Structures are given as structure tokens and as C-alpha cells.
Amino acid sequence: MQETYAAKSGENAIDPSFFNLVSQIAHVAVTYGLTFTAARFWGWPGIEIVGGLCILYAAVHEFFWDPLMENALTRGSDLEDFCFLVLGVAVAAGVYAI
């Protein structure tokens, strides 16, 4: 059984590059939202704790969980996913600092 193929015009399918774009926007938004919200409540200690937990989560999820459990059709680059999760933390810290 063939698992992947190029969709024909008009066929109901997901464009992998569009799927990846949406995924990376979601990765940044999640860690940005969590870290910036923590910063609003607890300042820099909130960024250190919640941002640190986000980075820990990103590392475990992307380099342990995904290689074992993620569907081959939706799995992209774990390193890219990790970088965008960390980017959300970094942007939150940057926005909080200014």
C-alpha cells in the first residue's frame, strides 16, 4: 500500500509546506503565550521558570516523544520544531524587556 502520493488538483489534501508553516506559527504562539503570560504575572522569574519549562518540554517532545510516536505523514524536522518552540520563549522575553 502506497502511503503518500501527490494530490491531484481539487483533491482534498494538505500541502506539506502549508502544514509546516501553520505548525511553526503554532509552536511560536504556544511558548510565546505561556512565557509572556508568566512574565506579566511574575516578571523575570516567571520567564525563567515557565520559559525554562517550555524549553525543557520542547527538548523532550521533539527529540524523544516525536521520533517514537509522531505520524510519519505529519512529522517534519524535529530540530526545526524545537527552534520555533524556543523562538517563542525568546520573543516573549524580548517583548517583555522593551
> Interface residues with Ca ion (CB under 5 A)?
66, 78, 81
The distance of closest approach from Cβ of residue 22 to Ca ion in the complex, given in angstroms and rounded to an integer, is: 13
Nearest residue to Ca ion, scored by beta-carbon proximity = 81
The distance of closest approach from Cβ of residue 10 to Ca ion in the complex, given in angstroms and rounded to an integer, is: 30
Cβ nearer to Ca ion, comparing 53 with 76? 76
DSSP designation for 24: H
The distance of closest approach from Cβ of residue 78 to Ca ion in the complex, given in angstroms and rounded to an integer, is: 5
CA torsion angle for 60, 63, 66, 69 (degrees, to 10)?
Answer: -90
Task: Give CA–CA dist 7/95, Å, rounded.
Answer: 41
First to last CA, the chain: 54
Cβ nearer to Ca ion, comparing 24 with 38? 24
